[in-house]
Amino acid sequence: MTYRAPVSDYQFIFDHIVDFSAVLNSESFSDVDQDTVLAILEEAGKLASDVIAPLDRGGDLNPAQLVDGVVKTSPGFADALGQVAEGGWIGMLASPDNGGMGLPLTVGTAVNDMMSGACLALSLYPLMCQGQIEALEHHASDDLKAVYLPKLVSGEWCGTMNLTEPGAGSDVGALRTKAERNGDGSYSITGQKIFITWGDNDFSENVCHLVLARLPDGAPGTKGISLFMVPKVIPNEDGSLGEKNSLHVVSLEHKLGIHGSPTCVMEYDGAKGWLVGEEHQGMKCMFTMMNNARLGVGVQGVGIAEAATQKALAYAQGRVQGKSPLGNEGAGIIDHADVRRMLATMRADTFVARSIALACGVALDLGRTVPEQQARGAFLIPIAKAFSTDIGHEVAQTGVQVHGGMGYIEETGAAQYARDARITSIYEGTNGIQAMDLVGRKLMDGGEAAFALLDEIETFAEAARATLPKRAIAVWNSAETLREGLETVLTLPMNDRFGVAVPFLRAFARVLGGYFHLKAAIAEGGDGPRSRLAAFYIKRMLPEHRALLAQVRLGAQDIYALSPEDLTV
């Protein structure tokens, strides 16, 4: 069973769960209409299902390799990425002024979901390029834009982001890569970066690295960091390719999953670079790139969850073990209550994670002109990143369980989803760091964006009582419990907040899930497959929020009460 892009699910979510019509009606996207969006989703769905998904297993079995200093990519990847570029998918979010499609982020998020479900390793390539294009659009000088943007948008060149160093992972401010002024407007970059996704390949004409480095007069920590464009091949003034830059791939990492994505150790040896944004303002520029990248990584979790659910469902229908408790002759294991429970959990959480990601996309699209929506988007980003990738990982693990022993055997592909999904909760800011961002920076507004979301949920649940009283009351109550939890979090000193950040983030996502499932059930008139899934979620999965929020009052004290010695047996 190969992956099929779930185009109808995006349509349903756009129409009934998130306010996508507001995006289409907004000034920012006056050129985009509903029919175009549907055609785009269908086209992307075909590419994901028919061209990209068939490469997933081959990429896993034939990892990218370093051969004579150049990364040799997995079979078929170059051709498929050529088709991704030709279709305009790399530049789908870029401004039409730079040759892009100028699509709403919400649509781009759905497309990235499909690409990730089809082949996560391959999908990282366009994702890195999209992030770089966005950073350049916002922060680069006109000269840099003129040289780099057309080539990046067309897909002739590709982009990477270089933050991580051996001593600087979550703590980006600890980086040691140096930048020196050359006196001619360019800079010399020296240092080593590790874990660089798609740091090289054997098909694009140029690889453009965005590198964080510190100038001699840069302050210690994140404040003194600058961002540089450091290309593999230095472009001439007319945009043609000139001499090779002094940088190279030292080695490729051997990883648990995403074998088709080359993860490179990069060495910059006085490489020529050009400043992006202002000196010492690199983190600000990088944050532009990281925000959308976080949403992009969030939907990687959704994509994997979708693919794992599809595979498990197909397997459970075909695999026969014992008699059907429902009396269906020759029925598969799907008739066993526990298997049906696992599949329903997978489907219910995939829907929640997808809805959260698309709601975040809508808020960020509307947030271009509406400050409250911008605040909502910022609040939802860590939830969309952390919850969705946790779900990708959990659903993929459950998918292995549904397959029984065959899930542990590589041939079915269920195990690959579990291995591939694991990284998504680590890179682009670990999920722990995301949760700290949620309870720290994202509550700096006194909880305004969070309370506004809770108000919206309660208003909807109140109105839904007339149609689905039990479900609506359960959702209303969950929002109220979360409100109390939020009020408690706001009273805590910061490190106590950090001690409860992860359960708080998950509780928030659980309640959002109740809201989105209730909306789905109401859209269906309270009777149908989505309503039955909503009932399953609200009765069985939503109550998790209570146990999670019970931890909120504890702060961090009981955690620190355990000394390192206590943890040693």
**Residue ranges in contact with ligand FAD by CB under 6 A:** 161-164, 169-170, 195-197, 255, 263, 423, 426-430, 432-433
Residues 6+ apart with CB under 8 A from 273: 179, 186, 187, 188, 189, 211, 213, 228, 229, 230
- Is the Cβ of residue 164 or residue 412 nearer to ligand FAD in the bound state? 164
199 C-beta neighbours (distance < 10 Å), count: 27
Q: 199 and 233 in contact (C-beta within 8 Å)?
A: no
Q: 178 and 230 in contact (C-beta within 8 Å)?
A: no
**C-alpha–C-alpha distance, residues 220 and 126, integer Å:** 33
Q: 153 and 98 in contact (C-beta within 8 Å)?
A: yes
- Residue 560 Rama label (left phi>0; alpha psi -120 to 50; beta): alpha
- Is the Cβ of residue 255 or residue 319 nearer to ligand FAD in the bound state? 255
- Residue 109 Rama label (left phi>0; alpha psi -120 to 50; beta): alpha
**C-alpha–C-alpha distance, residues 204 and 144, integer Å:** 19
| Shortest distance in whole angstroms from residue 300 CB to ligand FAD | 12
For ligand FAD, the nearest residue by Cβ is 169
Q: Which two tokens stand for residue 171?
A: 């703590």
**C-alpha–C-alpha distance, residues 155 and 141, integer Å:** 21
29 DSSP 8-state letter: G
| Shortest distance in whole angstroms from residue 160 CB to ligand FAD | 6
| Shortest distance in whole angstroms from residue 197 CB to ligand FAD | 3
- Is the Cβ of residue 333 or residue 433 nearer to ligand FAD in the bound state? 433
**Positive/negative CA dihedral, 485, 534, 416, 51:** negative
| Shortest distance in whole angstroms from residue 35 CB to ligand FAD | 36
Q: Which two tokens stand for residue 302?
A: 């959704």
| Shortest distance in whole angstroms from residue 521 CB to ligand FAD | 36
Active site residue 428: yes
- Is the Cβ of residue 76 or residue 429 nearer to ligand FAD in the bound state? 429
Catalytic residue among 134, 137, 165, 428: 428
| Shortest distance in whole angstroms from residue 159 CB to ligand FAD | 10
- Is the Cβ of residue 77 or residue 427 nearer to ligand FAD in the bound state? 427
- Is the Cβ of residue 291 or residue 531 nearer to ligand FAD in the bound state? 291
The amino acid occupying position 319 is: R
**C-alpha–C-alpha distance, residues 198 and 207, integer Å:** 9
Residues with catalytic function:
428
